[in-house]
Structure 1
Amino acid sequence: MKLTYEWNKHVVDISEVAVANEFEFKIRILTEPYFETMKFIQKSFEANDVITDVLVYPYTNHEYRVVVRKDFYEDFILQLCKHQLLTKVEWREVIE
C-alpha cells in the first residue's frame, strides 16, 4: 500500500523526493490564513522525544524545506492534513 495525498493548489505548493531513509519536502504556503501553519506542525514534532523525526528549515516567502525520517512519514502527512494543508489522504494498493 502507498500513501497518497492531494492539496489545494491555491493554498500550498508541495513537492516530495525520497532520499535514502528520508523524504524531503519543499513546501510553500500561498495563502495568508495558513502562513503560521508550518510553525504549529514543527512544534508538534519538537514536543516528542525523537529529535531527528521531522526537521523544518524555514526560508523567505513562507517556503520550507522539511526532512522527514521514513518512519515518521505517515505522521507528517497526517499533520499536514490535520492543519488543512492537504485536502485528501488515502492508502492505494500498488500493483506491479
Structure 2
Amino acid sequence: MKLKYQYDKEILTISEKQSESDIEITILFRNEESAKHLEAIRIFFDENDIYTDAIFNTYTDNSHQVIVRKDYYIDFILQLFKQTLLKSITWE
C-alpha cells in the first residue's frame, strides 16, 4: 500500500524523490507563517535518540529539504498532517 496525501498548493509545494534507503522531500513554502510549522516537526524528530531518522536542510529560496529514512516516512507524513500542512492522508 502507498500513502497518498493532499495539501493546499497555494500555501506550499511538496515533491518526493526515493532512493534505496530514504526519501528526499522538498517543500517550498509560499509564506513564512506556514514554514514555522516545519520547525515543530524538526523539534519532534530532534527530541528522539535517532539522529538519522530525518535530516533537515533549509535554503535561501524558502525551500526545505528533508531526507527521511523509509522506516520514518509515515511518522514524517503524520507530523505534516498534525501541523496542518496536509489536508488529507489516504492509503492507496
Return the TM-score normalized by structure 2.
0.94
Write the mapping of 1:6-85 to structure 2, written as runs, cut at 5 A: 6-85=6-85
- What is the CA–CA distance in structure 2 between the aligned matches of 1:62 and 1:25, rounded to whole Å? 14
Change (3 A) 1:61 1:37: farther
- What is the CA–CA distance in structure 1 between the aligned matches of 2:21 and 2:33, rounded to whole Å? 33
Task: Indicate the RMSD between aligned Cα atoms, in angstroms.
Answer: 1.0
Q: Residue in 2 aligned with 1:3?
A: 3
Give 1:40 shift. Answer: 1.1
Q: Residues 25-84 of structure 1, C-alpha deviation per residue, up to 9 Å, x if partnerless?
A: 110111332121111111110001100000000111321111000000000000011111
Q: Which runs of 4+ in 1 moved over 4 A?
A: none
The residue type paired with residue 23 of structure 1 is: I
Please give the secondary structure, in 1, of the residue aligned with 2:76: helix
- What is the CA–CA distance in structure 2 between the aligned matches of 1:50 and 1:32, rounded to whole Å? 28
Maintained 8 Å contact 1:41/1:79: yes
Maintained 8 Å contact 1:56/1:66: yes
Aligned residues: 92
